[in-house]
């Protein structure tokens, strides 16, 4: 759905909005709309340790222009603060203040990325733990201060160093337009699993894309976020099998014909759903995206068993059953990756959505508990939790509620289905296998919406 206000404040009402102190969201730089001028700007890498220099060398090796110190008057596309050697809260001051001084040099839709040890990783003294946890608070708070479409996110190292393959992939994701609607979030790299993708491979499409040669099953692929996911996986090189209910068959066929995929009309709650999926793929499944979901909103006092049970059956029970069957039958490929759709409702709750929030919180729990099993087969399982995304569902919200939900995010706008799809394509890539059992919010740092 078009955000008319966003268009107006970037056009005829720009000065009016500024003079009245109204929200001034900007059009975000996404994968296919990032100007070349932006891409040619340098990246500022801050930090005194060997890790910071190693990261700067990685960026240089991938064709990026790098600065180790801010240059007077020079604009930068990103500021990366490497804080992996912090031993106490007092160690943070020099670098975080350098970050603050560099913010005015950041171009619109710029990036700030912190890299630090994960809270709880290894043996940490109380002072070190305080510093490490402090970095998360710093990054999230800074994300709320960003302006003009800029974001702040973090990469956490849990038992790995900066050379882990998924550190590079996480960095490419957070630096790029693929993470346009991700802010105030953290990606934890906890193993050396995964392929080492250079920036060119990560940003390539089609036969050269990061998903080339792999099969990808997407449930609920006929419309909305599911259709965007299917298109994005195909863009990145995957062979897509779209799954949806028979009544959505025509819409599903249209999407699959568009991307050269295969349609599978199927009720995922059916007893033979997993077998039918595997048969349609014709080989062990490489990528499985659990997108299918329903809402049956009602205040709990008025909730009946059909509303409750149907949401649980589609949104979480079917996922658990399909995952278990494919694993037990050996129908997941070696290195298979699963990405499930959770929701910010499953994190923060939402009035009138006890059934939906229960199911989406269940997705988060299932994902975390399944990580070890997928890692044992060389793969991963993660979840993506969208916030307010411009879909047919949010278009039905009352106008005032919709406007408030848009402006409450740090980016002062709703996300697009492509923003969710980009996060899923990233987590489904071979370079992200060191990220496992996690839930990544795609919400513009907002907890409103489904």
Classify residue 125 by burial, with Cβ atoms within 10 Å: 0-12, 13-18, 19+: exposed
Pair of tokens at residue 126: 């109380």
- Of the residues 5, 38, 181, 356, which is catalytic? 356
Two tokens, residue 280: 């349609």
SS3 385: strand
d(C-alpha 185, C-alpha 182), whole Å: 7
Strands, E assignment, 311-432: 332-341, 380-386
Q: Can you spell out the DSSP letters for 10-47?
A: TTTTHHHHHHHT---------TTS--HHHHTS-EEEE-
Task: Decide if 189 contacts 434 (C-beta within 8 A).
Answer: yes
Q: What is the CA radius of gyration of the chain?
A: 22
Is 356 a residue of the active site?
yes
The token pair that represents 340 in the structure block: 């499930």
Note whether 134 and 92 are within 8 A (CB): yes
**Beta strand 332-341 pairing with 380-386:** parallel
In angstroms, the CA 33 to CA 83 distance is: 31
- The residues that are catalytic are 356
């Amino acid at each position: 759905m078009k955000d008319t206000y966003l268009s107006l404040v970037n056009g005829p009402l720009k000065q009016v909005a500024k003079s009245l102190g109204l929200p001034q969201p900007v059009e975000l730089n996404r994968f296919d709309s990032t100007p070349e001028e932006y891409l040619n700007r340098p990246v500022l890498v801050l930090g005194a340790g060997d890790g910071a220099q190693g990261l700067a060398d990685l960026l240089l090796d991938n064709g990026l222009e790098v600065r180790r110190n801010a240059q007077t008057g020079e604009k930068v596309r990103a500021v990366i603060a490497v804080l992996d050697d912090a031993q106490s809260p007092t160690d943070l001051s020099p670098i975080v203040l350098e970050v603050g001084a560099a913010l005015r040099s950041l171009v619109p839709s710029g990036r700030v990325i912190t890299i630090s040890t994960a809270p709880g990783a290894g043996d940490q003294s109380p002072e070190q733990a305080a510093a490490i946890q402090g970095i998360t608070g710093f990054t999230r708070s800074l994300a709320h201060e960003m302006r003009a479409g800029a974001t702040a996110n973090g990469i956490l190292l849990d038992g790995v160093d900066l050379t882990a393959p998924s550190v590079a992939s996480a960095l490419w994701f957070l630096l790029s337009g693929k993470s346009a609607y991700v802010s105030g979030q953290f990606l934890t790299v906890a193993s050396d699993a995964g392929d080492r993708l250079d920036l060119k491979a990560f940003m390539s499409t089609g036969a050269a894309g990061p998903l080339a040669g792999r099969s990808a099953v997407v449930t609920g692929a006929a419309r909305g976020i599911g259709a965007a996911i299917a298109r994005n996986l195909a863009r990145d090189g995957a062979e897509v099998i779209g799954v949806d209910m028979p009544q959505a068959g025509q819409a599903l066929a249209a999407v699959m014909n568009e991307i050269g995929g295969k349609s599978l009309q199927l009720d995922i709650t059916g007893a033979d759903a997993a077998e039918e999926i595997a048969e349609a793929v014709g080989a062990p499944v490489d990528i499985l995206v659990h997108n299918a979901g329903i809402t049956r909103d009602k205040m709990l006092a008025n909730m009946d068993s059909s509303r409750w049970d149907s949401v649980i059956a589609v949104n979480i029970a079917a996922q658990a059953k399909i995952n278990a069957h494919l694993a037990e039958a050996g129908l997941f490929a070696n290195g298979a990756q699963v990405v499930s759709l959770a929701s910010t409702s499953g994190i923060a709750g939402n009035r009138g959505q006890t059934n939906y929030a229960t199911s989406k919180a269940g997705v988060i729990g299932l994902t975390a508990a399944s990580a070890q099993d997928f890692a044992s087969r060389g793969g991963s399982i993660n979840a993506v939790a969208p916030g307010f995304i411009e879909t047919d569902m949010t278009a039905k919200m009352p106008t005032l509620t919709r406007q408030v939900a848009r402006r409450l995010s740090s980016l002062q706008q709703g996300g697009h289905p492509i923003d969710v799809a980009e996060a899923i394509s990233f987590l489904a890539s071979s370079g992200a296998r060191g990220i496992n059992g996690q839930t990544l919010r795609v919400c513009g740092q907002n907890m409103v919406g489904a």
